[in-house]
Homo-oligomer: A and B are copies of this chain.
Amino acid sequence: VSLSVFPVAGIGDVHSGDDLAALIVEAIEASDLSIARRDVLVITHKVVSKAEGAVVEGVWTDADYRRLVEREATAVVRRRADLVIAETHHGFVCANAGVDRSNTSPGTAVLLPADPDRSAHRLRQKFEQAFGVDLGVVISDTFGRAWRRGVVDVAIGVSGVEAVVDHRGTTDTYGRVLEATEVALADEIAAAADLVMGKATGIPVAVVRGIKSDGAGGRAADLVRRPEEDLFR
């Protein structure tokens, strides 16, 4: 019952209109990795956004970039100097409303996918067809956190694996009912995948093997804490 995380190399640059699922399937088939039932394919959102054309041109200056961030933000949670922590239309709270200028052509910026759960679902369907087994898909992005230094990868799109696992009502080893134990499974999967992907390596996909989840109904929208339940916006 151990867990394995395999990087998938060789996908190369992705452009608007590319069939991302086909590129990933090709890269996996060219590797010595064989996909197994219930494997979870974790994909950095950047290649998803690029394939879907969620890329803005003409973003040359910091002022261009800031205008774009303001456009993508539905609410600004905090602002200090050049840093904007903003809510996106998906409900995610992250730096610069998820608009990113790294690992994209000069003069362009990459947005979040319009509907990352739907993107994950479509990718999963194609992967399941290609590999002939039930799979999970997590689309990841790199978020900062309140109170803690450093960024971590989290799930912004999920299909075929639970996003939040509810342990409430189960008991600990002393028979005590567990409290506060909705586990953000998909976020932990995204974090584990980042350990083999890294930030500057050009590896946008990892395969996580050994997740115990029946996959029923997972979606990253479940990871968004509703504003009325949130003490921090």
Q: Which residues of A contact B (CB under 8 A)?
A: 1-7, 13, 78, 80, 83, 85, 92-93, 95, 101-106, 142, 144-154, 163-165, 167, 170-174, 176, 178-185, 187-189, 191-192, 194-196, 199-200, 202, 210-211, 222-225, 230-233
- A5 near B6: Cβ-Cβ < 8 Å: no
Residues on the B chain within 8 Å of A163, using CB: 150
- B195 near A210: Cβ-Cβ < 8 Å: yes
Residue of B nearest to A165 (CB): B150
Residue of B nearest to A211 (CB): B195
- A187 near B152: Cβ-Cβ < 8 Å: yes
Q: Specify which of B101, B147, B178, B202 is in contact with A102 (CB 8 Å cutoff).
A: B178
Cα of A216 to Cα of B85 in the assembled complex, Å: 31
Cα of A212 to Cα of B184 in the assembled complex, Å: 25
- A181 near B151: Cβ-Cβ < 8 Å: yes
Residues on the B chain within 8 Å of A106, using CB: 174, 176
- B182 near A200: Cβ-Cβ < 8 Å: no
- B150 near A1: Cβ-Cβ < 8 Å: no
- Interface of chain A, main secondary structure: loop
Residues on the B chain within 8 Å of A148, using CB: 93, 154, 184, 187, 223-225
- A188 near B194: Cβ-Cβ < 8 Å: yes
Task: Given A151-B181, A181-B199, check contact A192 B146 (CB 8 Å).
Answer: no
Give the copy number. 2
- A188 near B191: Cβ-Cβ < 8 Å: yes
- A196 near B178: Cβ-Cβ < 8 Å: no
A49 CB, min distance to chain B CBs, angstroms:
15
Residue of B nearest to A164 (CB): B150
Cα of A6 to Cα of B153 in the assembled complex, Å: 21
Task: Given A152-B183, A184-B152, check contact A195 B3 (CB 8 Å).
Answer: yes
- B151 near A78: Cβ-Cβ < 8 Å: no
A190 CB, min distance to chain B CBs, angstroms:
8
A173 CB, min distance to chain B CBs, angstroms:
5
Residue of B nearest to A181 (CB): B199
A31 CB, min distance to chain B CBs, angstroms:
11
A232 CB, min distance to chain B CBs, angstroms:
4
Residue of B nearest to A231 (CB): B78
A9 CB, min distance to chain B CBs, angstroms:
9
